[in-house]
Amino acid sequence: MAEKYRLKINPPPPTDEEIAARKNFDRVLGQYRRTAKSRSLHDTISRLNKSVPVFILMLLLALLIVYFGQVMRRRNQPAPKPAPTQTGLNPATARGAAPDQLPLSLAVA
């Protein structure tokens, strides 16, 4: 099993030259600019990811409301009056149908 801690007794401290050689603010600034740019793009995309589905749902809901509104309006409109027919005439014979083409009940009569 690996030991929990590794002890270093009196390790030599880094020299000034070694530290100076590693210090590079321009590198960190460059990394910062790249990361900040990609972060802002990522933030925009994640904001869009959150808002686009909500927008689509709202649009669907609005379309549904408009559609059902129209259906309800059509239902509530009064039914059109039937076209006037000659009294005493059978509507089928009045249109000139032959007796053998009449329904059985009417032909027998």
Partner 1 sequence: MLAKPGQLPAASPMHQSERAIAEENDIVERAKTNPEVFGFLYEKYYRSIFVFIDRRVEDRQTADDLTSQVFLKAMLNLPKYQFKGLPFSAWLYRIASNQINEFYRNSHQSRVVSLDDTHLERLFGEAGETAHRDRANLVRHLLDQLEPAEVQLLELRFFEDRPFKEIAYILDITENNAKVKTYRILEKLRKLLNLNEG
Binding interface with partner 1 (CB under 8 A) = 2-11, 13-14, 18-19, 22-23, 25, 27-29, 31-33, 35-36, 39
Q: CB of 100 within 8 A of CB of 108?
A: no
Nearer of residues 27 and 47 to partner 1, judged by Cβ:
27
Q: CA gyration radius for the chain? A: 43
**Concatenated DSSP letters for 47-86?**
HHHHHHHHHHHHHHHHHHHHHHHHHHHHHHSPPPPPPP--
State the minimum distance, in angstroms, from the CB of residue 8 to partner 1. 4
Nearer of residues 14 and 53 to partner 1, judged by Cβ:
14
Nearer of residues 4 and 73 to partner 1, judged by Cβ:
4
State the minimum distance, in angstroms, from the CB of residue 46 to partner 1. 16
Q: CB of 74 within 8 A of CB of 67?
A: no
State the minimum distance, in angstroms, from the CB of residue 39 to partner 1. 7
